[in-house]
A and B are shown apart, each in its own frame.
Chain A
Amino acid sequence: MITQEFDFHAPRRLDEVLRLLADNGEGAKLLAGGMSLVPMMTLGLVQPRMVVSLNHVAGLAYVREDAGALVIGAGTTHAEVARDPLIARHCPLLADAARHIGDVQVRNRGTIGGSLAHADPAADYLPVMAVVGARMIVRGVKDRREIPADAFFTGLMQTAVGPQEMLVEIAVPKTQARGAYRRLHRIEGNFAIVNAAAMVEGAGGAARVAIGGVGHAPVVLDVSAQMRGGASNDALNAIAGRVYEATAGAPEDLNATAEYRRRMASVYARRALAAAAV
């Protein structure tokens, strides 16, 4: 049982949610899947005075196709992302990352919007969003803005979503590039220690890799030059070196030293690129 009292609202419509946010700002905490928020409230780590559930608002979970992008509602669960046919066709990298999140129960309830807004640095979606160049669509009562992934994660578990705003959908560019996601974890179901998402276009085309768990936002490298001749050992070694340099700010905690994170970042970036380049 949670110890601190709070007000609870379960609006039925998005405009009611936005009105509650406009009136309460940081005093209102949005509850989507709750797979992070509810345990944090149980532990007393966060004590909102108002909780606004999104679980009874129609129309937050969807996957649809626009001209150049897939548009995914923020309320779409990880299980839905993992098995959606449009995502499987146009961005299977995203479905692959979603399959790794937590466990079956977490994936049944947790949402892509919730995960991104919570912005745990090791979340499986983060390097995918960075490497594909996703755009986060954010709404307030009066405004609607699009924030590119490389501007979305602003600090440790902080995002560019304002206190009176809500992440409503994510636009993921359709791509023919091949992607691969790899993650390091000691314990199944736990957050990754580091993770990597890579995208490689056809022979000689663009190649990018994003690494998560090494700072508040993924580290993204354009490795097109190194990958021009394919994923040779020399190419991957050069990239591993670049990753190691680029992750100098990796944190140290109970799970891993900074040095270990950096070395593993290199390993997992290599693995993701090698898999994407096949």
Chain B
Amino acid sequence: MKTALEVSVNGERRRLEVDNRMVLADMLRDVLGLTGTHVGCGTGSCGACTVMLNGRTVKSCSVLAADVDGDAITTIEGLARDAEHLHPVQESFVRNHGLQCGYCTPGMVMSALQLLKDNPDPDEAAIRHGIAGNLCRCTGYHFIVRAIREAAVSQRAQPAKADG
């Protein structure tokens, strides 16, 4: 059983027909080839699949693909047009070694963006709380927190650039 939908993904309008059993993460990865969004637990606990849906972060493994008709989705691929022009949050992750295996990273970056939208000057506690929905097995979070802290500082210094 399928559902037809129109959805905007990274600014591009797409018309799709999806199997009702598909979750949004599957649609992004398997139908649209946007494999930057990762599936970790698949059941809404790890946050690796975090994307923006209508400007707010959600876990895309816990949203039915059929349910996004008329919605606007931003994935990690929508943040930077290429590796030479990374989003400031991504640049900060690189500079601060905020990733090791990289599996949690796209979701972590999306959550960082959400946090900085809601709270442009988060202290460490606010950062840790803001990424509480994203699990990382490699880094121990220390450099992730540092990356986000630095991104917040540089975003406040250059507000025009850092819009998620």
Contacts and interface: CB of A to CB of B under 8 A. Distances in A.
Interface of A: 1-8, 10, 31, 34-35, 38-39, 42-43, 51, 53, 55-56, 79, 102-106, 108-109, 188-189
B47 A103 contact: yes
Q: How large is the interface on B (under 10, 10 to 19, 20 to 34, 35 or more residues)?
A: 20 to 34
B7 interface: no
Contacts of A7: 1, 20
Of B3, B19, B20, B22, the most chain A CB neighbours within 10 A belong to: B20
- In the complex, the 3 A-B pairs of residues with the closest C-beta atoms, listed nearest first: A103-B133, A2-B21, A108-B56
A219 B34 CA distance: 48
Of A7, A53, A55, A108, the most chain B CB neighbours within 10 A belong to: A108
Interface stretch (B8-16, B57-65, B82-90, B155-163): B57-65
B21 A35 contact: no
Nearest to B18: A8
B43 A105 contact: no
Contact of B66 (A8, A39, A103, A104): A8
B64 A39 contact: no
5 contacts: A8-B67, A10-B3, A38-B61, A104-B114, A105-B57
B57 A104 contact: yes
Nearest to B62: A38
B42 interface: yes
A109 B111 contact: no
Contacts of B19: 1
B44 A35 contact: yes
A35 B69 contact: no
Given A2-B21, A43-B43, A105-B58, A51 B64 contact: yes
A103 B64 CA distance: 19
B66 A10 contact: yes
B115 interface: yes
